[in-house]
Amino acid sequence: MTEVVTQSEATGTEQPPLFPMKRPCPFKMPEEYARLRAEEPVSKVTLRVSGKQVWIITKADDVRKVLTDSTLSSNWKEPGYPLPVAVPDDILQAMELPLVAMDPPQHTVRRRMLIPEFTAKRMQALRPKIEKIVHEHIDAMLAKGGPVDLVEELAVPVPSLVFCELLGVPASETAFFRNYAELTTNREVTPMEIGMAQQEMEAYLDKLVTDRGVNPKDDLLTRLVARNNEEGNLAHSDVVALARVLLFGGFDTIANVVSLGTVALLQNPDQLQKLKDDPTLTANAVGELLRFASISDHATARVLPHDITVSGVTIPAGDGIIALNGSANRDEERWENPDMLDVCRDTKGHASFGHGIHQCPGASLVKVELEIIFNALFSRIPGLRLHGEVPDSAYKHDALIFGMYELPVTW
């Protein structure tokens, strides 16, 4: 592989620090974040994957300012966009952009299609089905007996099966989704195998969308298809793409926060005891676990169509910026004792779902699902504990979305 030579190396000037920066431990943000918030809240870094120099935003107020500015672009194809992975430009320019990489008006049309599916009323209607899935998996854990891998037994299969409920996938075909979830989270699987699995899932979703057009049911896909038939804004492939966004976005968030949140609570028994004593705190605790874990702390990026000024620093048009959600979630000016887990904390305004027009459209489902899982897990298995020390290798330090590969627990 050809070594990347940065402009600073070629000119002899000092190179900005490499990014992303590794967490010193699973529940701490990179140590450099705190220094930057205090001394240089808007600064340059060098992307490890490409050698490109981009800007990072570290303070909570600045992160919100950037993410709520709808004039900034999320388009991956713009030259200055800080892509976190290496993609050949010819492939990048030819690819169909996902919702997260679209700008208005294309983004507006698609998001408007999704929002009615995640109202409080729809989430309440879905709650009994989610509870049934969660309790069935806890039943299986108890029948098997500890130790078990919580990632394999609960964190991965539950969100995949909830997604099946959302889309109205026949019970006979849910194994396909579970197999997909297990394969794409297995560290032993090659990129080629993951790519093939994603192609198979794409074909399946395409078939499902087609079927809902001729065999309507009471599910999300049927309503998306019907809504699109009335408004006529999207092609068939666009509706398939929306289903794909929901699958990838919701699954990763829930699976990783379940495993990380369980470790965080078990390592903070005083906070866990508060939930056991008062289960009504769990909804609030979910917000705190999302803040505390910050699984995608550098996933929110933009490229500038015009100059902007942030904390007195003018960033020129064409440059890329990364609004660090994880840093915003640990900003001392925003949160009291930000490095402590506090399930009673008011976490309104945390950055884990983003802000503005690209805020996660399925956030309400994520919160309901996590609330149900944590309530059921610790009420059904009050003696749950870690099975030995969790090795550093169990954490996804090498992944774009932080989480866990495995979590041995017993009771």
**Which residues are the active-site residues?**
253, 296, 360, 398
Which H or E element spans position 47?
strand 42-47
Tokens read off for 41: 């809240």
- Encoded amino acid at 199, one letter: Q
Q: Are 83 and 94 in contact (CB under 8 A)?
A: no
What interhelical angle do 174-184 and 157-167 show, nearest 10?
140
Q: Which residue has the tokens 């990129």?
A: 191
Q: Which residue has the tokens 């976005």?
A: 249
Backbone angles phi, psi at 48, to 5 degrees: -60, -35
CB burial of 364-391 (b: ≥16 within 10 Å; e: otherwise) equals bbbbbbbbbbbbbbbeebeebebeeebe
Q: Which of 88, 67, 68, 92 is nearest to 78 (CA)?
A: 92
Q: How far apart are CA 389 and CA 111, in angstroms?
A: 43
| Residue-wise DSSP of 65-113 | HHHT-TTSB--TTSTT---SS---HHHHHHSPPPGGG--TTHHHHHHHH
Q: Are 280 and 342 in contact (CB under 8 A)?
A: no
Question: Residue 147: is the preceding peptide bond cis (ω within 30°)?
Answer: yes
Q: Which residue has the tokens 């919701």?
A: 250
